[in-house]
Amino acid sequence: MSEAAQSILTGLPEVRGRYKENAPLGAIGWFRCGGTAEVQFKPADIEDLQHFLKDCPEGVPINIFGALSNSIIRDGGLEGVTIRLGREFSAIDIEGDEVTAGALALDANVASVSADAGRGGLEFLSGIPGSIGGALRMNAGCYGTEIKDVLISCQALDKKGALHSFTPEDLGMSYRHIDLSTDYIFINATFRSKKETPEIVLARMADIKKSREDAQPIREKTGGSTFANPSTQDLEKAGLPLDTKVWKIIDSVGGRGLTIGGAMMSEKHCNFMINNGMATAQDLEDLGEEIRARVLEKHGITLRWEIRRIGKKLGE
Ligand SMILES: Cc1cc2nc3c(=O)[nH]c(=O)nc-3n(C[C@H](O)[C@H](O)[C@H](O)COP(=O)(O)OP(=O)(O)OC[C@H]3O[C@@H](n4cnc5c(N)ncnc54)[C@H](O)[C@@H]3O)c2cc1C
């Protein structure tokens, strides 16, 4: 056991769940590269998680991830405790118009369970390969619908383990952003749905699947959209049409296919970054920064990373 992990572990509260030191993290994410978690904690259930948060010593960094489909874990790994929720947090319940899903439920499962039950309105979730917790944090969306449009309320724990309820207004949700502090851990969410025949909902999901397969490198080691679309103010200042998507801007600076080490901007959709098999997290981040530098120089726009980058670089 590494000295650092040992020293953290000895100060952590006794739990019913499991601690694991030097747990693979980047390697199990969508990019399949990057560092480990110094200590991973898998709580047995919500009470165990609350107890951990209440008694965790001040100053120990705490992180949480869902499906790791939107994150680069830097090569030097993540200090402190990384929480990984388990099956206890992935239930999906439908009552009338309301669909409630645990934070670890996969978006795609929420869409398909709802569709099978004849509930429409959540099919956009079938196109997002993350978990409900990640979708809340990112206000994830596609094809004209985002989480804030269907969210009734959600529950989250604060850093001392107290449970809070939030509406979309409380969360200040906007395009791929929420205002809530990253100290909060989402536990579940309740969404609005409408009654429809399963066949109609499933047909819409099939359309989404086809569009994505045609347009995006979804079978690659990727993290989805690398950068958010620029604001209309930024586009106006740059003299670009106000509906310009970020992929067009990336294309205009020679980003399509651009490669650094094992990282490449996809030829198919140039806002998607790909691990060609040999990439380090540093290659991915360097490539993203090269794109940002080129876009800043040519258009005066500072692109906002949509992908979360977290952890220490090697040697830090
Ligand atoms: C092929 C592909 C296509 C994609 N297409 C889309 C798309 O169309 N639209 C879109 O919006 N996104 C898309 N994404 C990005 C990604 O799937 C979404 O952002 C998704 O919501 C991330 O969820 P996750 O569970 O994987 O989050 P992770 O990568 O695990 O984490 C992302 C962030 O959420 C936080 N988080 C995760 N769980 C919790 C929790 N329980 N409580 C608090 N914070 C939490 C993490 O701390 C981190 O900051 C795509 C990704 C891929 C790989």
Q: Which atom of ligand 1 is nearest to the CA of 71?
A: 29
* 248 & 203 share domain: no
Which of 84, 114, 130 is the endpoint of a domain? 84
Q: Which atom of ligand 1 is nearest to the CA of 65?
A: 30
* 40 & 106 share domain: no
Q: Is 131 in the pocket of ligand 1 (CB under 6 A)?
A: yes
The residue range of the domain holding 199 is 89-212
* 118 & 188 share domain: yes
Q: Which atom of ligand 1 is nearest to the CA of 222?
A: 53
Which of 157, 184, 212 is the endpoint of a domain? 212
Cα–Cα distance measured from residue 285 to residue 30, given in angstroms and rounded to the nearest whole number: 15
Q: Is 126 in the pocket of ligand 1 (CB under 6 A)?
A: no
Q: Is 26 in the pocket of ligand 1 (CB under 6 A)?
A: no
Pocket perturbation via mutation, ligand 1, pick of 74, 138, 151, 173 by most ligand atoms within 8 A of CB? 138
Q: Does residue 271 fall inside a structural domain?
A: yes
* 55 & 124 share domain: no
Structure tokens at 129: 């390969």
* 233 & 305 share domain: yes
- Look at ligand 1, atom 12, and give the residue with the nearest C-alpha: 140
Q: Does residue 226 fall inside a structural domain?
A: yes
Q: Does residue 266 fall inside a structural domain?
A: yes
Check if the beta carbon of residue 74 is closer than 8 Å to that of residue 141: no
pLDDT tens by residue, the chain, 316 residues: 566 666 789 999 999 999 999 999 999 999 999 999 999 999 999 999 999 999 999 999 999 999 999 999 999 999 999 999 999 999 999 999 999 999 999 999 999 999 999 999 999 999 999 999 999 999 999 999 999 999 999 999 999 999 999 999 999 999 999 999 999 999 999 999 999 999 999 999 999 999 999 999 999 999 999 999 999 999 999 999 999 999 999 999 999 999 999 999 999 999 999 999 999 999 999 999 999 999 999 999 999 999 999 999 998 8
Q: Does residue 316 fall inside a structural domain?
A: no
> Domain holding 55: CATH number?
3.30.43.10
At residue 265, what is the residue type? M
* 122 & 193 share domain: yes
306 catalytic per annotation: yes
Calculate ∠ Cα 251-174-187, nearest 5°: 115
What pLDDT shows up at residue 243?
A: 96
225 catalytic per annotation: yes
* 124 & 35 share domain: no
**DSSP string spanning the chain?**
--HHHHHHHHHSPP-SSEEEEEEE-GGGSTT--B-EEEEEEE-SSHHHHHHHHHHSPTT--EEEESS-SSEEE-TT-EEEEEEE--GGG--EEEETTEEEEETTSBHHHHHHHHHHTTEES-GGGGG--SBHHHHHHHT-EETTEEHHHHEEEEEEE-TTS-EEEE-HHHHT-BTTB--S-TT-EEEEEEEE-EE--HHHHHHHHHHHHHHHHHHS-TTSSEEEESBPPPPHHHHHHTT--TT--HHHHHHHTT-TT-EETTEEE-SSSTTEEEE-SS--HHHHHHHHHHHHHHHHHHH---PPB-SEEESPPTT-
* 181 & 203 share domain: yes
Q: Does residue 315 fall inside a structural domain?
A: no
Cα–Cα distance measured from residue 120 to residue 195, given in angstroms and rounded to the nearest whole number: 6
* 78 & 93 share domain: no
pLDDT in tens, 145-155: 999 999 999 99
* 201 & 96 share domain: yes
Q: Please report, in angstroms and rounded to a whole number, the separation of the first and last CA atoms in the chain.
A: 20
| C-alpha 1 to ligand 1 mean position (Å) | 31
* 105 & 203 share domain: yes
What pLDDT shows up at residue 13?
A: 97
Structure tokens at 299: 């258009």
Name the packing angle between helices 107-116 and 198-215 (round to 10°). Answer: 150
> Domain holding 191: CATH number?
3.30.465.10
294 catalytic per annotation: no
Q: Is 62 in the pocket of ligand 1 (CB under 6 A)?
A: no
Q: Is 130 in the pocket of ligand 1 (CB under 6 A)?
A: yes
Cα–Cα distance measured from residue 111 to residue 122, given in angstroms and rounded to the nearest whole number: 5
Pocket perturbation via mutation, ligand 1, pick of 40, 81, 128, 184 by most ligand atoms within 8 A of CB? 128
Q: pTM of the predicted model, to two decimals?
A: 0.95
Instruction: Identify the active-site residue in 71, 126, 225, 266.
Output: 225
CA-based diameter of the chain, in Å?
A: 58
Q: Is 140 in the pocket of ligand 1 (CB under 6 A)?
A: yes
* 115 & 176 share domain: yes
- Angstrom distances, CA of residue 240 to CA of 88, 245, 260, 299, 303: 48, 10, 28, 9, 14
Residue 151: closest CA among 177, 122, 118: 122
In the chain, the number of structural domains is: 3
> Domain holding 299: CATH number?
3.90.78.10
Q: Is the dihedral of CA 88, 63, 315, 12 positive or negative?
A: negative
Which of 84, 115, 134 is the endpoint of a domain? 84
What count of residues does the chain have?
A: 316
Cα–Cα distance measured from residue 267 to residue 284, given in angstroms and rounded to the nearest whole number: 15
Q: Does residue 267 fall inside a structural domain?
A: yes
